[in-house]
Amino acid sequence: MNQAPFSIAIHGGAGTILRTNMTPEKEHAYNSALDQALKAGIAVLTEAGTALDAVTAAVTSLENCPLFNAGRGSVFTHDGSHEMDASIMTGHNLESGSVAGVTGVRNPVLLARAVMEKSEHALLASRGAEAFARAMQLPFEDSAYFHNDLRHSQWQEALRDDKIVLDHTEKKFGTVGAVARDIHGNLAASTSTGGMTNKKWGRIGDSPIIGAGTYANNATCAISCTGHGEYFIQSVVAYDISCLMEYKGLTLADACHEVVRKKLVQRGGEGGLIAVDHAGNVCLPFNSEGMYRAWYEAGQQHVAIYR
Ligand code: ASP
């Protein structure tokens, strides 16, 4: 078993990401953005920082990059706005914070963390969550900050076809997340997303739902998911993996295989996840064509996109 002092993994979404649809320039841009976010997390962990600070740093970096469907790069809703979801959880005390359907907040991950640390709640939504963000003096941005021509044309296409589109299933962008194990043996997980293009009626995915899109428990593992949120909610994916380890004694790799390659596939739930266990082992399973991912394990750094 790997006894590395610390480990971290990040993702930028899973979906139909094919080498044939990629240009060398785009591939380079993704690899650099993933590398930068991973390094932001590694910098924290190298200085004996916490897994919580490491996942916060990595997800903030990904939220600030327009390539990914989170923060700045969030997809358009049916109404032409951006409604973002995010969550964060620490494995040593099982505390968590989540926000759902927030608009204008520059870094939803920081708001989720404020919910965890500075409120007595676990999940705040829409206008109330935004009022809390203002009370916490977190930065807001106007709609120009979130505007992106590609996202806009994806939305126009979805509007025309009257479809709600999982952004990275047909295009190549996605939700972001990070999981880490620090040198103190603590685990943490975080996920952030703009959800699905053309979503309406206040649709919320799995990303802010603890146990579905995000989970961390020092006794088992830390997980951040990406994929078709409805399936991930109904399959309680992140907690299911933790439970298979806790109650059935499965290894992280076996638990991930059982849930992502078997259970989710049987239900038709496309996507993947990143995971790290209490010993620092990393696992990055997905049942889609690709998943933007990067990880640091046993002193080695890796970046990958395709299967
Ligand atoms: N899981 C996210 C959602 O359904 C989407 C994604 O992973 O890109 O909101």
Q: Does residue 89 fall inside a structural domain?
A: yes
Domain count, the chain: 1
Q: Does residue 263 fall inside a structural domain?
A: yes
Q: Is 192 near ligand 1, meaning CB less than 6 Å away?
A: no
Q: Is 174 near ligand 1, meaning CB less than 6 Å away?
A: yes
**Residue-number span of the structural domain to which 165 is assigned:** 7-94+150-306
Q: Does residue 179 fall inside a structural domain?
A: yes
Q: Does residue 257 fall inside a structural domain?
A: yes
60 catalytic, yes or no? no
Which domain CATH number covers 79?
Answer: 3.60.20.30
Residue nearest atom 7 in ligand 1 by C-alpha distance? 226
Q: State the distance from the centre of ligand 1 to the C-alpha of 166, rounded, in angstroms.
A: 7
Q: Does residue 33 fall inside a structural domain?
A: yes
Averaged pLDDT of the chain: 93
Q: Does residue 141 fall inside a structural domain?
A: no
Q: Does residue 174 fall inside a structural domain?
A: yes
Can you give the chain as a three-state secondary structure string? CCCCCCEEEEEEEEECCCHHHCCHHHHHHHHHHHHHHHHHHHHHHHCCCCHHHHHHHHHHHHHCCCCCCCHHHCCCCCCCCCCEEEEEEECCCCCEEEEEEECCECCHHHHHHHHHHHCCCCEEEHHHHHHHHHHCCCCECCHHHHCCHHHHHHHHHHHHHCCCECHHHHCCCCCEEEEEECCCCCEEEEEEECCCECCCCCCCCCCCCECCCEEECCCCEEEEEEECHHHHHHCCHHHHHHHHHHHHCCCHHHHHHHHHHHHHHHHCCCEEEEEEECCCCEECCECCCEEEEEEEECCEEEEEEEC
**pLDDT tens figures, 89-113:** 999 999 999 999 999 999 999 999 9
pLDDT given at position 166: 62
Does residue 169 register a pLDDT over 70? no
Does residue 156 register a pLDDT over 90? no
From 50, 103, 175, 226, active-site residue:
175
CA-205 nearest atom, ligand 1: 9
pLDDT grade, residue 2 (50/70/90)? Answer: very low
Q: Does residue 198 fall inside a structural domain?
A: yes
